[in-house]
Amino acid sequence: MISLGIESTAHTFGCSVVEVSLDNRKSGTILSDVREVYKGLAGSGIHPREASRHHCNVCSEVLKKSLQQAKMTLKEVDVIAYSAGPGLGPCLRIGAVAARAIAAYYGKPLVPVHHAIGHIELGAMLTGACDPLVLLVSGGHTMILAFSENRWRIFGETLDITIGQLLDQLGRTMGFASPCGAKIESLADQSSKKYLRLPYAVKGNDVSFSGILTSAIRLASNKNNTKEDVCYSVQETAFAMMMEALERAISFTHKKEIMIVGGVAANKRLSEMAQGVCGRHHLNFYVCPPAFAGDNGVQIAWTAILDYGSSKNRHINIEKSFLRQSWRLDSIDIIWRN
């Protein structure tokens, strides 16, 4: 089975082709992965309308390159998949329109995919994690999840902004263009390791980052503080909060594996702290490879294979295809996991 996945939830427009054999449905072969990322002006975030224009402009070329990289044509693809949400409406529409057009013209099944579930399933495929407690960290999500009774259950999440939003908004105040996570990590690595006091807000299994952002912006405006020390302090505080919540979730779920997925999974300091947690509790640690931590079409194509392959009734008529800017991950029945 061959799947074409189209990702367009936010700043990234990506197309990927993934193949799986009928003999082994647990692992796919990534035949192509092509992406173009919208970047705003320095100090600015993602403007949905401008990002959607970017996606529209690069759509045909990204699709063409993806098929060339996979060495196949659309006629050879079995399933067309698209990110149906959650995400920015104008951006989601570009990917959905492209997927609908291809599915209609070539008479292919159309499969809508939840973006965050795509992160989880791709991470599991690439790392070999079987039944992990998942830390999902990105611009759109900060959640601790475990699979139970056909759904991903949330054991902790952010009460306000996500970890990705914290890093991006801090970076923009420093004059960087989104996404800013890599720049924040780089500055933190260059820090003198002088810790600047920041609010630490863990409420049960949930975390709150808005207070950290306000205080960090104030600290960054003080000439006595370096950007490097501010970034270091933000990472140490925010990541420590998530580790505390993660350890509580471990005691609830008794899982034997921890897996980190999402764009912020590429942060080495976060992995280092999570490995420490796993060491204390004697758990196996997995993290999505940095090359696939951010948004990509592979996560959409692979999840569509799992979904469509488990029940061919799961695809939809083009007339009934949908987008959901707000779409709770724990509202979806997962039929391909036991």
Could you report the per-residue pLDDT of 59-112, keeping only the tens digit for each? 999 999 999 999 999 999 999 999 999 999 999 999 999 999 999 999 999 999
Residue 313 reports pLDDT greater than 80: no
Q: What is the pTM of this model?
A: 0.96
CA–CA distance, 76 with 270 (Å, rounded to integer): 41
pLDDT at 310: 80
- 305, 306, 312, 315: CA torsion to nearest 10: -70
What pLDDT band is residue 177 in, cutting at 50, 70 and 90?
confident
* H or E stretch covering 275: helix 268-281
Can you tell me the mean pLDDT for 54-61? 98
Q: What's the CA gap between 110 and 171, in Å, rounded?
A: 38
Residue of 224, 265, 247 whose CA lies nearest to 120: 265
Tokens representing residue 327 in the block: 């779409």
* Predicted local confidence at residue 290, as pLDDT: 97
Which of the 8 DSSP states describes residue 265?
A: G
Sheet-wide strand order for 142-148: 151-157, 142-148, 133-137, 257-261, 284-287
Mean pLDDT taken over the chain: 95
Tally of CB atoms within 10 A around 155:
22
Q: Is 204 left (phi over 0), alpha (psi -120 to 50) or beta?
A: left
List, in order, residues 6 or more apart from 194 with CB less than 8 Å away. 229, 232, 233
Strands (E), 66-186: 79-85, 110-114, 133-137, 142-148, 151-157
For residues 11 and 179, give the distance between their C-alpha atoms in angstroms, rounded to a whole number.
8
Residue 223 has pLDDT above 70, yes or no: yes
Structure tokens at 261: 């997925």
Helix/strand/coil for 47: coil
pLDDT at 49 over 80: yes
Position 314 pLDDT exceeds 70:
no
pLDDT at 117 over 90: yes
According to DSSP, the β-strands at 2-7 and 79-85 are parallel
| Other Cβ atoms within 10 Å of 44 Cβ, number | 13
Confidence of residue 312 (pLDDT cuts 50, 70, 90): low
Q: What is the pLDDT of residue 48?
A: 94
Alpha-carbon distance values, 275 to 260, 269, 332 (Å): 11, 10, 30
Domains and their CATH numbers in the chain: 2-120+294-331 (3.30.420.40), 129-292 (3.30.420.40)
